[in-house]
Structure 1
């Protein structure tokens, strides 16, 4: 079990009002799984993603990530756990405009204290893995949307994280580029990468091996993808 969330509640305070966002959410993901968390805007999926990604803490509940009790971690320990265990892919790529593809991919390694020579080697390997071995010196302005997302995926994978966490990864792409990114995710999953993807798009969700629905802060799960397509 790589990810085990149990009885997660998340409330936000607005003035004197308590607003419940997640309501008794439990979710388990096995190593090597490819799971889509699907829900409309306002369903709580972004809040859930932030908790899975160790960017936020729940109001109550338990969270084990690769055997570690996340909620017992202090903020610094949580930051270290996030760096070691989770690779993030965002809809908006989040690349540094003045840095080359290689420098963008190497960034998490510099945070991890890896020496410069090894950083460059590992970043180049990660770019090769996503089909951009010939674009290492290119800056984001010289890349297409699909290529930017590939750089972002290489950056997410360069630290060999336990989970790849993708938030609407095709949301800013045209359909052809989106399809290529989905094919890349499938390839990475076949290589053993655990993927948790947040999406509102049924077509994108259908590429995962398991679909979890979140509506009004509560999770429901279909029996199979075939059921989704009926």
Structure 2
């Protein structure tokens, strides 16, 4: 199953999660919300808590892991559940707890600076690489959820996000302009024209003194 979602960061996952929780929804298959949220949360938790839990990998496995990672990043999505070890997990039947667990894990990942655990397939990954993996996994898992009314909500959230970005850009530009003025980089109007006139005047005097006219 190829998802149309393209989640690349933890912020993307959180925004999509908020849309899922705000919309009416139903399952597209026998995979439940509890399974989806729990599995994604567990993946995030293991990336920051599973340090040293994986066995040593041979050189061949390391190279194979890097190849598989590059291939997944290049394609940008999972296509089959058998590409994801351990999925689907056992259904614990508590979507509210799974939802809270996922939110907590997202916050924990954002605050965690390292070290990070090895991926069971891809091997050694840093924070940015793990974030890409979580984004691709979330895109795939959230594809199991059918939403109603999400287009309208997405439009509203995108519009709100654009307004925030524009406001931030304006504040930043104003701040840079003020810093220039404080340093004296900004010249008062008319400064350059006066300087040009002075140059012209001095040049004229020089020509007059050196001229051969009557004295």
TM-score by length of 2: 0.24
More strand by share: 1
TM-score by length of 1: 0.23
